[in-house]
Amino acid sequence: MFKTIIRLTSVVAVSLALASCGSNNDSEVTTLRLGHTLDTQHSVHQAMVYFGERLSELSDGAMDVKIYPSSQLGTEREMIELLQIGSLSMTKVSASPLEGFVPAMKIFSIPYIFRDNDHFWKVLNSEVGKGLLKGVEPFRLKGLAYYDAGSRSFYTNSKPIRTPADLAGMKIRVLNSPTAVRTVRELGGAATPVAWGELYTALQQGVVDGAENNPPSYYLSRHYEIARYYSLDEHTSVPDVMLMSLRVWENLTDQQQAWVDEAMQDSVLFQRKAWQASTLDSLAKVKADGVEVIYPDKKPFVEAVKPFHESLRGTAVGDLISQIKAM
């Protein structure tokens, strides 16, 4: 109850502070409030800090960013709802839960459709990627950019995952996405959606036997303290999406929108470099702590999800997969 009261107080404070957002009065500083669920050591948080610095530089101090990290303002879903009513300026969400708004976003939760990292970014920067970002606008959201979230792999607390057969009977935490749920089921596991903030306890208490995520999230969340096997099968590449309240965006002047766009694109380049360094550092640290990092043969995993791909043939998502594979 106390946490709920604190959270509601924070939201009210954000709402009141947004009164100046988008103001045309040159004497006022336009402050964008940005909430997210990640630790302040995460490369995405660091990129957001850089975004704020660049925005302040480009606007000569006329705009700035106030960041609320570590779920201070709620879950990803709750912050999306705050964006929709204009009570929060910006947030970061994983692309997977957005499929509830834009069905085509499920493309990122379908396993093994990107050949490598270069192919992945070629898709995101193409008209396909831009179209997916634009698809959130009917829901009073503005898609600004993609941040790198690497590839998702399985980590478990009782046994290592070397082949899909090892997932049989294991409860694996997944994102709140029907496609993510199906992916784990196709690979033989029992998919269990659990909120990110509750996952450490769920692993600790045996509510789930494992989860799947990228190396920095695995390390910074301290999930490696419980789940001591990390299998780099890299089944999906789900980007983070930077969202803005469409109401807040439309209340900005053309010049302010241009500053936001430029600062955001600069932060994307910053984050991609920071992400690569963070990934290598995270893997080195969990190995040093005694985690068993497994590099499985991916072919059995790719074969296991072929029926999933075939089942989408002739659908809009299946056509999208064909476009992506052809790039």
pLDDT, tens digit, 9 for 90 and up, residues 225-281: 999 999 999 999 999 999 999 999 999 999 999 999 999 999 999 999 999 999 999
Q: Answer whether residue 98 shows pLDDT above 80.
A: yes
Could you identify the residue written with the tokens 């799947």?
212
Q: Which helix (H) or strand (E) holds 49?
A: helix 43-58
Average pLDDT over residues 293-315: 96
Q: φ, ψ for residue 266 (rounded to 5)? A: -65, -40
Q: Considering the domain delimited by 2-150+239-280, tell me its CATH architecture.
A: 3-Layer(aba) Sandwich (3.40)
pLDDT for the residue 12: 45
Q: What is the pLDDT of residue 142?
A: 98
Q: Average pLDDT, whole number, for the chain? A: 91
**Is 60 exceeded by the pLDDT of residue 48?**
yes
Q: Is the pLDDT of residue 196 over 50?
A: yes
What confidence tier does 2 reach under pLDDT thresholds 50, 70, 90? very low
Rounded to whole angstroms, how far apart are CA atoms 187 and 206?
21
Mean pLDDT to the nearest integer, 101-110: 92
CB 97 within 8 Å of CB 177: yes
Residue 16 has pLDDT above 80, yes or no: no
The amino acid at residue 263 is A
Mean pLDDT across 56-66: 98
**Largest Cα–Cα separation, the chain:** 64
Rounded average pLDDT over 120-144: 97
* pLDDT more than 70, % of the chain: 92
Q: How far apart are CA 70 and CA 197, in angstroms?
A: 9
Mean pLDDT, residues 273-292 taken together: 97
Instruction: Please name which of 282, 257, 309 lies closest in space to residue 55, comparing C-alpha atoms.
Output: 257
How far is Cα 163 from Cα 188, in angstroms, rounded to an integer? 10
Domain with CATH 3.40.190.170 in the chain: 2-150+239-280, 152-237+292-326
Q: Could you please state the CATH topology (level 3) that the domain comprising 152-237+292-326 is classified under.
A: D-Maltodextrin-Binding Protein; domain 2 (3.40.190)
* Secondary structure tally for the chain: helices H, strands E: 13, 11
Give the span between the Cα atoms of 21 and 28, in whole angstroms: 9
Pairing of strands 90-94, 141-147: unpaired
Per-residue pLDDT at 168 exceeds 60: yes
Beta bridge partners of 94: 240
Distance CA 73, CA 9 (A): 10
